[in-house]
């Protein structure tokens, strides 16, 4: 599939935003957040800013962005509509959490309950985003058991790094957050390599032979239906050279995981936590953006076999 910058921003920025909200809910339960009056509202608005920026960017991918609201009516059958509804529903407890923190403080039961509710809704929204792609049967690189857990892992990973950055400048439990970030970084790296191994070894769901009802044998078209690029080939048959794919995968491993893991690990040990938390979050942001690009670029729609391209 052809990577669209709007969708890349959606899946990257919302991961940071909703991941941060989820971890704030967890840390709030165990009292791991600073008890200053401004921390909760400021951190919540930061998270909602990331999430909203991603959602707004996604509308640029629509032919008529002003009609995006109509997608909400298709929630019975569309994961895109469910994502929008979940995102809107997350804003309510998140704003309530910020208001309750400002008025009553972080330790009152209402603030804790709203923080937990916000965290659950945030991860549910990330899950809905993942299911937009995991439910598409014609794209084998997405329609598998890796897509949903990978999205949740990357959201939790980016969210904890953003929380580590904020705590580093708020005198909070930065070493604890950095330690969790280190573990999640290793988990994300393992998950990413497992995903690549799976799609590289997976056989095509459909071939020209099976589409025509033949159980085996080589089937080739006499003439290609098109000799120039068309919409389907541009959008659904996007191809990336093997050498570029290998280089980009190595770059993802380095920038999205290795550097953040090293920075977070050192911060967890107390080595320049403020500075290293910034490097970890920035590196993860750039790396996960590249990872999202690969996620789309390596995916091929089954319709591409009609044009002589393997799916």
State pLDDT tens for residues 103-147.
Answer: 998 889 999 999 999 999 999 999 999 999 999 988 889 999 999
Q: For residues 206 and 187, what is the distance between their CA atoms, to the nearest angstrom?
A: 32
Sign of CA dihedral 70, 72, 75, 81: positive
What is the CATH T-level fold of the domain 5-62+71-307, as seen in this structure? Formate dehydrogenase/DMSO reductase fold (1.20.1630)
DSSP SS3 for 151: helix
DSSP SS3 for 227: coil
Domain ranges of the chain: 5-62+71-307
State pLDDT tens for residues 3-52.
Answer: 788 889 889 999 999 999 999 999 988 888 898 889 999 999 999 999 99
Helical packing angle, 109-134 and 39-58, nearest 10°: 20
Instruction: Calculate the alpha carbon distances from 75 to 6, 9, 51, 58, 62 in Å.
Output: 22, 23, 20, 18, 18
State pLDDT tens for residues 58-104.
Answer: 777 666 666 666 667 777 888 988 998 999 999 999 999 999 999 99
Nearest to 17 by CA among 159, 216, 207, 197: 159
Q: For residues 115 and 118, what is the distance between their CA atoms, to the nearest angstrom?
A: 5
Sign of CA dihedral 155, 157, 161, 167: positive
State pLDDT tens for residues 256-310.
Answer: 999 999 999 999 998 898 899 999 999 999 999 999 999 998 888 887 777 766 6
Instruction: Specify the pTM.
Output: 0.89
């Amino acid at each position: 599939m052809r990577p669209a910058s709007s969708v890349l921003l959606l899946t990257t920025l919302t991961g940071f935003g909703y991941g941060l909200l989820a971890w704030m809910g967890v840390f709030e339960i165990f009292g791991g957040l600073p008890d200053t009056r401004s921390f909760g509202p400021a951190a919540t608005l930061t998270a909602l800013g990331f999430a909203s920026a991603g959602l707004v960017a996604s509308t640029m991918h629509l032919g008529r962005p002003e009609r995006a609201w109509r997608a909400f009516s298709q929630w019975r059958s569309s994961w895109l509509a469910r994502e929008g509804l979940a995102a809107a529903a997350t804003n309510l407890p998140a704003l309530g959490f910020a208001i309750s923190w400002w008025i009553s403080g972080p330790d009152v039961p209402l603030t804790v309950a709203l923080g937990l509710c916000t965290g659950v809704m945030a991860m549910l929204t990330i899950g809905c985003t993942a299911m937009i792609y995991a439910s598409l049967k014609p794209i084998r690189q997405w329609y598998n058991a890796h897509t949903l857990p990978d999205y949740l892992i990357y959201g939790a990973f980016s969210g904890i790094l953003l929380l580590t950055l904020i705590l580093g400048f708020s005198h909070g439990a930065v070493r604890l957050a950095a330690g969790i970030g280190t573990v999640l970084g290793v988990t994300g790296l393992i998950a990413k390599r497992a995903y690549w191994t799976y799609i590289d070894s997976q056989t095509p769901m459909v071939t020209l032979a099976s589409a025509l009802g033949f159980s085996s044998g080589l089937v080739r078209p006499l003439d290609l239906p098109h000799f120039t690029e068309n919409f389907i080939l541009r959008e659904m048959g996007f191809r990336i050279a093997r050498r570029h794919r290998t280089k980009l995968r190595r770059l993802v491993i380095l920038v999205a995981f290795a550097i953040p893991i090293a920075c977070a690990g050192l911060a967890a040990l107390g080595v320049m936590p403020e500075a290293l938390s910034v490097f970890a979050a920035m590196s993860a942001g750039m790396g996960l953006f590249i990872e999202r690009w690969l996620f789309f670029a390596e995916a091929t729609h089954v319709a591409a076999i009609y044009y002589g391209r393997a799916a």
